[in-house]
Amino acid sequence: MELSYLMLTAPTFRKMVTPSLYLQGKGAIYYLGQKALPFGDKALVVGEAIALSVAGERIKKSLSSNGIEIVGWDDTLKDCTHGTINRIVETHKHAKPHFVIGVGGGRAVDTAKAVAWKLKIPEISVGTQCATNADTSAESVVHTEDHRYLESIMLPRNPVVVIEDTEILAKAPVKYIIRGMGDALSAKFEAEAYAKAMQKKKGGTVPTSAALALGDACYKALMEHGVKAVTDIKNGIHSSDVDDVIEAVKLASALTFENTGCALAHALHNGLTKTGQIAGEHGEIVAYCTLVQMAYEKRPVDEIRHVEAWCAKIGLPTRLRYFGEISKAALRQAVEHAADKDEDSKNMPDKMKPADILEAINRVERGI
Ligand SMILES: [Zn+2]
């Protein structure tokens, strides 16, 4: 096909991005070396201090038994900032690592992915808790030095290998899996909104049926296994429900959002956090904003109440007041941002009006 033809028409592509390998299970971390070996034998390991104190010895053992040399080790990660990314690149580039292994939560793997991108080498993720799906995604969320959101870097590829050792994840404090489920809850609803928006736009990249099916699978797993998984983790039981939820968060939710797009739930999350008047974790705020998106879309009341009851059972906030006092002016500012200023607002099928989002918030506040 000639380039001029491509430039004159808007080709409709179906695209799916994924890691090469996702490995989840008890003791999966011991397979890290074997699965990393096809990508080279010099590793740069970066992670949070706590994560590496938990998983570090097992990582060393697995790498050395496969003849992989650790040419760099940084366990000082706190936030994913440009300063940290550049410091790690400058410190370790002369050792010429063949890949970067990111160990920990979202900040650690986001940093590792950005470092790998700058060094033009693959990244391998090792999750140690379940609050995030960043281990699987090709995106790095960068913060300022004073911990505020700065930007999301869309990377050209996903981590090549994702290792989720469920023995480690199931032992992490329960708050992490609750937050992870809150974020993952949005995947199906935002993907469906995105698919409708792309149908209307006619052109560009359309979501695959596979990506939408993963959104459904994620939602089903959360509804069927979420409450039991939380109870089991609280009681120190590592059940198959816990494994099902880990897979929904780490694999299905990541591949859904990456192969479709975020929509009102994340746009409103971004609007609310920008006001500086609310306090809450990403997954907690996104779960609440998913209820708002459902109300905005005028989904059946029973469906919204079902999701709301599920949130309450697992310990996710269902009312705005859980995030602190927000003034009317700030709320107005948040919905204005969500309606059209935020990038994710473009993924809703119709141009949104701030008043309609506000009405959806009021419905959620009244219990629908
Ligand atoms: Zn999110």
Residue 154 above 90 pLDDT? yes
Whole-number Å distance, alpha carbon 322 to ligand 1 midpoint, is 19
Determine if residue 27 is left, alpha or beta; phi over 0 gives left, psi from -120 to 50 gives alpha, anything else beta.
Answer: left
Whole-number Å distance, alpha carbon 270 to ligand 1 midpoint, is 10
Residue 337 has a pLDDT of 96
| 106 touches 134 (CB < 8 A) | yes
What's the pLDDT tens digit per position in 168-196? 999 999 999 999 999 999 999 999 999 99
Rounded to the nearest integer, the mean pLDDT of the chain is 95
Identify the active-site residue in 135, 269, 342, 344: 269
Residue 282 known to be catalytic: yes
24-32 average pLDDT score: 98
Residue 259 above 70 pLDDT? yes
Range with lowest mean pLDDT among 199-213, 262-276, 307-321: 199-213
Residue 13 has a pLDDT of 86
More confident residue, 111 or 204: 111
Whole-number Å distance, alpha carbon 286 to ligand 1 midpoint, is 7
3-19 average pLDDT score: 71
Instruction: Tell me the pLDDT band of 149, cut-offs 50, 70 and 90.
Output: confident
Residue 98 known to be catalytic: no
Question: Which two three-digit tokens encode residue 209?
Answer: 């049926």
The 8-class DSSP code of residue 276 comes to T
More confident residue, 13 or 191: 191
Runs of H (alpha helix) within 154-252: 166-171, 174-201, 209-234, 240-247
Residue 9 has a pLDDT of 56
Identify the active-site residue in 241, 282, 337, 342: 282
Rounded to the nearest 5°, which phi and psi values hold at 236? 70, 25
Residue 1 above 50 pLDDT? no
β-bridge pairing 99-104 and 42-47 = parallel
| 301 touches 308 (CB < 8 A) | no
Residue 206 has a pLDDT of 86
Whole-number Å distance, alpha carbon 70 to ligand 1 midpoint, is 32
* Residues in Cβ contact with 178 at an 8 Å cutoff, skipping those fewer than 6 apart: 230, 283, 284, 314, 315, 316
Whole-number Å distance, alpha carbon 128 to ligand 1 midpoint, is 18
Residue 354 above 70 pLDDT? yes
Whole-number Å distance, alpha carbon 261 to ligand 1 midpoint, is 11
Cα–Cα distance for residue pair 13/22, rounded to 1 Å: 25
What's the pLDDT tens digit per position in 215-238? 999 999 999 999 999 999 999 999
Residue 146 known to be catalytic: no
Residue 269 known to be catalytic: yes
Residue 194 has a pLDDT of 96
What's the pLDDT tens digit per position in 206-220? 899 999 999 999 999
Is the Cα torsion angle 206, 207, 210, 212 positive or negative in sign?
negative
Place of tokens 């009317």: 328
Whole-number Å distance, alpha carbon 282 to ligand 1 midpoint, is 7
Cα–Cα distance for residue pair 368/333, rounded to 1 Å: 23
Question: What residue type is 41 in one-letter code?
Answer: D
Residue 202 has a pLDDT of 73
Residue 231 has a pLDDT of 98
More confident residue, 219 or 5: 219
What's the pLDDT tens digit per position in 77-98? 989 999 999 999 999 999 999 9
Identify the active-site residue in 79, 183, 241, 244: 183
Identify the active-site residue in 92, 98, 225, 266: 266
Residue 8 above 70 pLDDT? no
Point out which residues pair with 102 in neighbouring strands: 46, 125
Cα–Cα distance for residue pair 162/21, rounded to 1 Å: 6
